[in-house]
Amino acid sequence: MKAEQPSLFGSMQCLSEQGVPFVVCTMVSTMGHAPQDAGAKAIVTIDGLHAGTIGGGKIESRAIREALALLRAGAGQLVLMDWDLQRDIGMSCGGSVRVLLEVFGANPWNIYVFGAGHVAQALTRLLLNLQCHVTCIDTRSEWIERLPTSNKLRVAVVTDMPTYAADVPHGSFCAVMTMGHSTDLPILNVLLRRDNLPYIGSIGSKVKARALRADLMRAGLSPEAIAKLYCPIGIDIGSHIPEEIAVSIGAQLIQCRAALGNRSVPGSYSESCGSPL
């Protein structure tokens, strides 16, 4: 059993880097005829058993079922379960086991960066140092190819970024920094119509911000929807250097993520993260 531990911990690290939620099932204690010793571990993802074992058979099947229920609930939890092998598991042998289920990454921090230009390149590289999963989207393959390779980064070369924006997962943070006003606007028009994205920011000056909001109003968005937009994006640090702008955006993303953690209902950050306006 001891020889398996490095590979198990390696699997946990890899899943964490990829932003994949998982449950670690640990056999804490046993009494009677248990199929594994205390300390045995198994890793379960939404696809089922990923690595390790706590003995196979009915005990492991029950642990996997409980782990999947926790993953589907979508919340980080730690659950200690005591099972009588005959009564609870349906085994003929006598005995009991205690199994600890630990959920990791149940609420992954997904950040979508629309555009792969100079600031997006700097921002993406910065974000890869954080505990998040980044997706960078652009129509230009030559810019996407400049991005680094990482298990925490997914890239997409698409012909229609607004259509892609419509399918961004619930709860994602979105930073829009494409080639300019004309390409940012249709993406923002899609994102701001959704009520399940806690952060939507767009790069640009205060002049561009006023023009964007005016165009979004003409496109039929409500003042309440437009008020969710962070533009100019990032904390004002008075810099025009891409790497420093990236730091300001990263700081705002962290600030807003922390604010979300303090709210019982996800929604606008205008009260706890500073007004987007």
151 and 173: one domain? yes
Residue 270 has pLDDT above 80, yes or no: no
Residue 34 has pLDDT above 90, yes or no: no
- Pairing relation of β-strands 153-157 and 229-230? unpaired
Q: Are 124 and 113 in contact (CB under 8 A)?
A: yes
The number of distinct structural domains making up the chain is 2
115 and 99: one domain? no
CA atoms within 13 A on the CB side of 111: 27
236 and 142: one domain? yes
Q: Is 40 helix (H, G, I), strand (E, B) or coil?
A: coil
99 and 114: one domain? no
67 and 158: one domain? no
10 and 98: one domain? yes
Domain final position from 104, 128, 144: 104
The larger pLDDT score, comparing residue 225 to residue 86, is at 225
178 and 231: one domain? yes
Which domain does 16 fall in, by range?
A: 2-104
For the segment 255-277, the average pLDDT, to the nearest whole number, is 59
The DSSP line for 192-236 is TT-SS-SEEEE---HHHHHHHHHHHHHTT--HHHHTTEESS-S--
The residue type at 100 = L
The larger pLDDT score, comparing residue 96 to residue 143, is at 143
- Split at pLDDT 50, 70, 90, the class of 4 is very low
137 and 256: one domain? yes
CA gap 38, 8 in Å, rounded: 16
131 and 85: one domain? no
| Tally of CB atoms within 10 A around 67 | 26
Residue 148 has pLDDT above 90, yes or no: yes
Reported as a single tens digit per residue, the pLDDT across 230-243 is 999 999 999 899 99
pTM above threshold 0.75: no
Residue 14 has pLDDT above 90, yes or no: no
139 and 69: one domain? no
158 and 227: one domain? yes
Domain final position from 81, 104, 127: 104
Residue 6 has pLDDT above 90, yes or no: no
129 and 174: one domain? yes
Domain final position from 68, 89, 104: 104
- Split at pLDDT 50, 70, 90, the class of 274 is low
Residue 273 falls inside a structural domain: no
In the prediction, which pLDDT does 162 show?
97
Residue 157 has pLDDT above 90, yes or no: yes
Residue 271 has pLDDT above 80, yes or no: no
DSSP-derived letter for residue 4 is G
Domain CATH code at residue 183: 3.40.50.720
